[in-house]
Amino acid sequence: MRRKSEVKKRLIRPITERYHDYLTDESNMIGAAESISFPESETEIIQILRVLQEKQIPVTIQGGKTGLVGAAVPMRGHIMNLSGMKRVKAFSNAEDGTALLTVEPGVTLIELRKAIGRLNTPEAFFWPPESSELTATVGGVASTSAKSICSGMYGDVGSYIDSIRATNAKGAIDDIKKGQRTVSIDGESEDLLAAYLGAEGMYGVITELTLRLIPTPAETWGITFFFEGREDGLSFAENLKDGPREIEGARIAAIEYLDRATIEAIEKQKQFLSNLRALPDVPANTSSMVYVEIHGEREEAVEAMAETLLSVATSFHNDPSRTWAFSGELEIEKMRNFLHAAVETALLHIRKVRLEDPRITRLGIDMSWEHESLKILAGRFQAYLREEGLSANLFAHVGNNRLHINILPKNFQDYVKGTVVLEKWAEAFTVFRGTAVTEYGIGKMKKSIFRKAASQAAIERIIQLKKQLDTKNMWNPGNMLDIP
């Protein structure tokens, strides 16, 4: 008893005004909790859990708090913030020669990039799931199955995690390696590691990850095309998506589309976003833009791909003199910052209107499509918004078939209308054989959208996994589904 009281005093802190920032994340949703901890090791996590289990106190896991759907926002109970677990533990090679790096979950993506850069290896490596939000943590990327803009070329996060260590609700450590442990769902076996990835912390806290690294491409180029016509930009992007993406060893790694509203919002905020000031102003009269990233091993092959793209773009009324071109990691990073600002500016808008009405939170949806035209989908949604008198910005990871829409309410009345619009759209989207929740996770803000868009089998899978892996419903209450 004395030991538990000492642990509680040393590691578990009551929520005071000092910790109020930990009741929210980038979604602007605000929660509630009674206590918080900042463990720096598995041992401390286990000690904390023993105290919490005794009183059956639920736990919300936090990393970098960069999430957009409220997954790290507590509903009640205890916050376990993993930002102190930052150790880079070991570099090794698998039997097949794959480079492996073991890290703790609180390592941010920028810290991971630096750690990989310090490796004493004959060739450079990188971790493909790296997103544009470099303050996000590795644990957060794994827990949400976050996707990079290049995931269409490299694949999802599951392809780049070899194993994890996780602390379950009983306070025991599980070593979970890909393909070696399974869980049964309706009589069918599912890989246990795959179950944890994208689960938003609902089954246990990840305490360690072994990442699979791959060689960095020798050449990385980026080209940004500007179009005066919205239709021209969409048509060009779709032409690239449906056409050949590889020429003599050079591959199109990303195709990104931004609409006029998104571009204008970024340009207005450029003076306040220091990482965008190095970029020139977007050419006047731009209605849409398409960014294409090319990876390859030979400069000649990448140059040939770039020349092909420039030729194709002119057939969609692109003026080559207005095009931006980038090469090398530092230059590419500038453009990726511009793309990331599509989300940042939407969040800045929400923060501004929340000053007038704190009930307003982010209103966004991300969708995947397979068989429908992006041009048709974007046109339908924008027409629907005009009918409702709502504003929104729209951008798409075209290479990955993912469409993002952020509604920008002016007041709470707009917010209510926008919520209805998103739910109806999510339900209707299944008609287009798409998926209404593909990125950022479900969290607490997209539960109603998920309920309307997901199949009953998908919902039942989550419920069964929760019952098997978290029998006392201890982890991240309120995420994904309301499970009693």
Reading the block at residue 304, the tokens are 């040939």
Q: Give the containing element (helix H, strand E) for 243.
A: none
Q: How many C-alpha atoms does 398 have within 13 Å on its Cβ side?
A: 31
CB 395 within 8 A of CB 260: no
Q: Which of 36, 290, 54, 23 is nearest to 171 (CA)?
A: 54
**Ramachandran assignment for 78, one of left (phi > 0), alpha (psi -120 to 50 degrees), beta (any other):** beta
Whether residues 232 and 320 share a domain: the answer is yes
CA distances, 308 to each of 246, 247, 292, 303, 326 (Å): 11, 9, 12, 9, 16
User: Mapping DSSP to helix (H, G, I), strand (E, B) and coil, where does residue 407 land?
Assistant: strand
Whether residues 199 and 240 share a domain: the answer is no
By DSSP bridging, strand 35-37 and strand 13-14 are antiparallel
CB 223 within 8 A of CB 291: yes
Q: Range of 92's domain? A: 88-215
Stretch 315-330: mean pLDDT:
92
Stretch 322-346: mean pLDDT:
90
CB 320 within 8 A of CB 367: no
Reading the block at residue 431, the tokens are 């008609």
User: Mapping DSSP to helix (H, G, I), strand (E, B) and coil, where does residue 35 land?
Assistant: strand
* Dihedral angle, C-alpha 201, 207, 211, 216, nearest 10 °: 90
CB 102 within 8 A of CB 208: yes
Exposed/middle/buried for residue 456 (C-beta within 10 Å: 0-12, 13-18, 19+): exposed
Stretch 371-377: mean pLDDT:
79
What pLDDT sits at residue 145?
85
- Residue 53 inside a domain? The answer is yes
Alpha-helix residue ranges (DSSP H) falling in 365-411: 374-388
Quick one: pLDDT band at residue 1, thresholds 50, 70, 90?
Answer: very low
pLDDT at residue 434 is higher than 70:
no
- Residue 341 inside a domain? The answer is no
CB 203 within 8 A of CB 196: yes
The C-alpha atoms of residue 48 and residue 160 are separated, in whole angstroms, by 30
pLDDT at residue 431 is higher than 80:
no
- CATH number for the domain harbouring residue 49: 3.30.43.10
CA distances, 118 to each of 32, 91, 112 (Å): 40, 11, 10
108 DSSP assignment: B
Whether residues 203 and 105 share a domain: the answer is yes
Stretch 391-396: mean pLDDT:
93
Whether residues 426 and 387 share a domain: the answer is yes
- Residue 472 inside a domain? The answer is no
The C-alpha atoms of residue 188 and residue 392 are separated, in whole angstroms, by 42
Q: Which of 369, 439, 371 is nearest to 401 (CA)?
A: 369
User: Mapping DSSP to helix (H, G, I), strand (E, B) and coil, where does residue 17 land?
Assistant: helix
- Residue 377 inside a domain? The answer is yes
Whether residues 366 and 316 share a domain: the answer is no
Between these two residues, 244 and 416, which has the higher pLDDT value? 416
Among 24-28, 36-40, 124-128, 232-236, the minimum mean pLDDT is found in: 24-28
pLDDT at residue 319 is higher than 80:
yes
- CATH number for the domain harbouring residue 195: 3.30.465.10
Stretch 457-483: mean pLDDT:
86
Instruction: Report the interhelical angle of 374-388 vs 412-429 (nearest 10°).
Output: 150
The most confident of the ranges 28-37, 47-56, 397-406 is 28-37
Domain count, the chain: 4
Whether residues 442 and 387 share a domain: the answer is yes
- Residue 351 inside a domain? The answer is no
Q: Work out the number of other CB atoms within 10 angstroms of the CB of residue 131.
A: 21
Whether residues 6 and 121 share a domain: the answer is no
Between these two residues, 130 and 298, which has the higher pLDDT value? 298
Quick one: pLDDT band at residue 423, thresholds 50, 70, 90?
Answer: confident
- Residue 292 inside a domain? The answer is yes
User: Tell me: the pLDDT tens digits for 124-157?
Assistant: 999 999 877 888 999 999 998 888 889 889 988 9
Query: Pick from 168, 185, 215: which residue ends a domain?
Result: 215
Query: Pick from 84, 103, 122: which residue ends a domain?
Result: 84
Between these two residues, 81 and 434, which has the higher pLDDT value? 81
- Residue 32 inside a domain? The answer is yes
Whether residues 98 and 166 share a domain: the answer is yes
Whether residues 128 and 52 share a domain: the answer is no
Reading the block at residue 215, the tokens are 């060689």
Whether residues 93 and 74 share a domain: the answer is no
pLDDT at residue 299 is higher than 90:
yes
Please name the amino acid found at residue 467. Answer: K
- Residue 482 inside a domain? The answer is no
Reading the block at residue 16, the tokens are 């005071």
pTM of the predicted structure, to 2 decimals: 0.90
* Dihedral angle, C-alpha 379, 381, 382, 384, nearest 10 °: 120
pLDDT at residue 318 is higher than 50:
yes
Query: Pick from 191, 215, 239: which residue ends a domain?
Result: 215
What pLDDT sits at residue 3?
62
Whether residues 244 and 316 share a domain: the answer is yes
Exposed/middle/buried for residue 366 (C-beta within 10 Å: 0-12, 13-18, 19+): buried
The C-alpha atoms of residue 276 and residue 200 are separated, in whole angstroms, by 31
The most confident of the ranges 58-62, 187-191, 439-443 is 58-62
CA distances, 88 to each of 59, 106, 201, 251, 379 (Å): 25, 10, 21, 32, 47
Whether residues 161 and 272 share a domain: the answer is no
Q: Which of 92, 477, 401 is nearest to 237 (CA)?
A: 401
Stretch 296-302: mean pLDDT:
94
Could you tell me how many residues make up the chain? 484
Computed over every residue of the chain, the mean pLDDT equals 88
The C-alpha atoms of residue 125 and residue 218 are separated, in whole angstroms, by 11
- CATH number for the domain harbouring residue 403: 3.30.70.2740
Q: Which of 237, 241, 219 is nearest to 229 (CA)?
A: 237
- Tokens 């990039």 belong to 113
